[in-house]
Amino acid sequence: MPAKPAKRLETFPNPEVARDYLIHMEIPEFTCLCPKTGQPDFATLVLDYIPDRTCVELKSLKLYVWSYRNEGAFHEAVTNRILDDLASATRPRFMRLTAKFFVRGGIFTTVVAEQRKKGWKPQPSIDLDAFPSQSNTR
């Protein structure tokens, strides 16, 4: 049976609940319709999140993204709606969705929306470039 677009996002248990780790996804084939002209808008979606108890399942994410293909939406609204739906489904510690829309009327639009679990604070970053590698110390 061929796949069809769907608004349902499925999840699976986070295999490493005790650890903060980043999941990074790039979705280069997002399309929706301009609500003014009906012409297609194309974007690359970049999803970064730190899961809590669940992770988003990739096939359901693909079908979810596909479901916007024939919907009219302003860039700002669709970016925030997608983030809201993903955050509602997964309840992450942190989630950021960056939508990089292709040029329309000579203007590139990028919309960045974030969601953070109440009380969650990121671990301090470690700058690995600050440490000399073994090959540089000889």
| Domain segments of the chain as ranges | 11-117
Task: Mark whether 48 is an active-site residue.
Answer: no
Task: Mark whether 55 is an active-site residue.
Answer: no
Q: Beta-carbon neighbour count of residue 29 at 10 Å?
A: 12
Measured CA to CA, the distance from residue 61 to residue 86 in angstroms comes to 9
> Do residues 43 and 76 make contact, with C-beta atoms less than 8 angstroms apart?
no
More confident residue, 43 or 129: 43
Catalytic residue among 20, 32, 41, 84: 41
**Statement: residue 116 has pLDDT above 90:** yes
88-99: average pLDDT? 98
CATH code matching the domain that covers 11-117, chosen among 3.40.50.12780, 3.30.1130.10, 3.40.50.300, 3.40.50.150: 3.30.1130.10
Q: How confident is the model at residue 125 (pLDDT cuts 50, 70, 90)?
A: confident
Catalytic residue among 34, 48, 52, 85: 34
